[in-house]
Amino acid sequence: MMSSVPSSWILQLFLQLALLLSILTIISVALGEYMARVFEGKKNILSFFIGPIERGCYRLFGIDPSSEMDWKEYVINLLIFNAIGVVFLFLLQITQQWLPLNPQNLGAMRWDTALNSAISLITNTNWQSYDNETTTSYLTRLLGVNLQNFLSAASGIAVAIALIQGFRRKTSFLLGNFWVNLTRAILYVLLPLAVIMSLLLVSQGVVQNFSPTITAFTLQGEKQSISQGPAASNVAIKHLGSNGGGVFNANSAHPYENPTPLSDYVEILGLMIIAAAFPFAFGAMLNHRRQGAAIFTVMLLLYITVVGIAIWAELHGNPLLEKLGVHHGANMEGKEVRFGLLGSTVFAISSTTTSTGAVNAMLDSFMPLSSLILIFNMVIGEVIFGGVGTGFIVIIFYAILTMFLIGLMIGRSSELYGKKLEPYEMVMAIIGLIVPAMLQLVFGAITCLHYDVLHSSLANHNHGAHGLTEILYAFASTMGNNGSVLRGVGSNTLFYNLMTAVAMLLGRFLVLIPAMAIAGSLAQKKLIPVSSRFPTASPLFVLVLAGMIIVLGSLTFLPVFVLGPILEHLTIFS
């Protein structure tokens, strides 16, 4: 029972959470203002140092920063950039045995694993169906994983900035330059933050070297191989760019990736700060900061809600342990004792609300209701706070849907942030919200219909409700470009590699392309006075938008939630 947990411990949990969210809010406001200046091309605190490098990049790659693109040109450049990334990463992984920085003499990846990995990296997913420690060389990690963590994150940021330009521009076809926004995202935002975070992690003991695997002896006298490598730089950008792939199999539960409670706090903040800063950047670029603060408030309220439910579920623990004669208390199964229940639960919630997918605990050991919350965070489009750029994009989809329905109810034309909403914007927003959700269910159903795949990919004890939860989680994670997994699924098979690769591509571009279409349509419209009948900076708008996100996500997935985590919860507590 929860009563077995000391009240002083519960108070300490919530004080720590309050401190975390307070620091996050302060950093997000400052970072949002800074990002607005960067993407508006204004002078900022790093202009003196990075400005010459930025201009040098434009000259080197033949980019004219004054040349702008319409939404279709923007999308074409985005797709070409990502297609080149897939080819490069695929070739790198299947030829790594002949390339330098491979002290372990690792061989080539299997073709379907390499293809899946390449797609996961360019889609900002980092879905790892392979054993990273014994599969990827240091060169693959640096040129493949590390580099693409910057590039995929910058791609999402570039599209989000174009969407903001759609609200800023009037009677224009142009939305800026994809290559300029990509360059600025890397040089001014991702790279400086990654350097700072890497140094903080190294100070806590995260490894950063090129040493070969070392051999250690356990207390029982058994040999143990311990991988090394450039971990700190990878960990920093995997969190900041909401990528999430681990250098080591245990991900952020490994002491080489996350050695101390302070490094755990730094990593949680790192995976949220850019996504949380986007609403404030939006408000600053629109010169209406209350609009941005309202969006952030929606994200924060939803975050507190899902964290609270998950902590409640974990504090109650598993009553079946009492029947085995084990003391029943908070659920610590699968959790790293260095971080405890709060650190593990908050980390899991943060990584699924931000499309990061990093873990510092075994998600498969969480209570059923906690698993439901983790899946819910992903299937609603990861808008709390979402991926870097993509979370902001999806919450704008919800805002468009909300204002369109409100316009129908009050009997007047819909508008959002000074732009009139018409059926075209509604259709694009529905595509970005509903189609990925439908495909998650379709892909899960296809998997369940193939007995051989189902039988071989699930552990024997994970059939039934929990097995369905694991399958649902796998496609929610890949379609949501998250990358985390409930480990009961054996995903490194031809079926899963190809199915999840398709899911990752659709999940990424069914959001980015409709966002660009909406941006192009809005940019052509005139600015109109912001409605006073239903202001989008009011507490009422915050509550309605939050309610729309919860209701739409719940209704879409309620049947499968009932058959999966809810049924498992009722079975345990019956």
Q: Is 149 helix (H, G, I), strand (E, B) or coil?
A: helix
Dist. CA 40–CA 35, nearest whole Å: 8
Dist. CA 312–CA 418, nearest whole Å: 41
Cis before 573 (ω within 30) = no
Range list of H helices, 145-259: 147-168, 178-184, 191-203, 231-240
Closest CA to 272 of 407, 437, 141, 384: 384
Going by their DSSP bridges, the two strands 419-420 and 415-416 should be labelled as antiparallel
pLDDT tens, the chain, 574 aa long: 444 556 666 777 778 889 999 999 999 999 999 999 999 999 999 999 999 999 999 999 999 999 999 999 999 999 999 999 999 999 999 999 998 888 878 888 899 999 999 999 999 988 887 777 778 888 888 888 888 999 999 999 999 999 999 999 988 899 999 999 999 999 999 999 999 999 999 999 998 888 777 888 877 878 877 778 788 888 999 999 988 777 787 888 888 899 998 999 999 999 999 999 999 999 999 999 999 999 999 999 999 999 999 999 988 888 877 777 666 677 888 888 888 888 899 999 999 999 888 888 888 889 999 999 999 999 998 899 988 989 999 999 999 999 988 888 776 778 888 888 999 999 999 999 999 999 999 998 888 887 566 666 565 557 788 888 888 999 999 999 998 888 767 677 888 899 999 999 999 999 999 999 999 999 999 888 766 567 888 899 999 999 999 998 888 899 999 999 999 999 888 7
Cα first-last separation, the chain: 14
Helix (H) or strand (E) holding 125: none
Dist. CA 281–CA 160, nearest whole Å: 11
- The reported pLDDT for the residue numbered 394 is 95
Identify whether the C-beta of residue 387 lies closer than 8 Å to the C-beta of residue 514: no
- The reported pLDDT for the residue numbered 59 is 95
Identify whether the C-beta of residue 257 lies closer than 8 Å to the C-beta of residue 246: yes
For residue 258, give the DSSP letter.
-
Closest CA to 211 of 194, 200, 226: 226
Dist. CA 455–CA 262, nearest whole Å: 42
Residue with token string 């949220």: 272
Residue with token string 């902001």: 392
- The reported pLDDT for the residue numbered 458 is 62
Dist. CA 500–CA 128, nearest whole Å: 11
Identify whether the C-beta of residue 466 lies closer than 8 Å to the C-beta of residue 396: no
- The reported pLDDT for the residue numbered 2 is 45
Give the global pTM.
Answer: 0.93
- The reported pLDDT for the residue numbered 341 is 83
For 85, 89, 125, 223, 396, the CA distances from 508, given in Å and listed in that order, are 14, 18, 9, 43, 16
* pLDDT (tens digit per residue) in 158-177: 999 999 999 999 888 999 99
Dist. CA 242–CA 351, nearest whole Å: 8
Identify whether the C-beta of residue 146 lies closer than 8 Å to the C-beta of residue 247: no
Dist. CA 182–CA 151, nearest whole Å: 8
Closest CA to 522 of 449, 414, 436: 414
- The reported pLDDT for the residue numbered 531 is 60
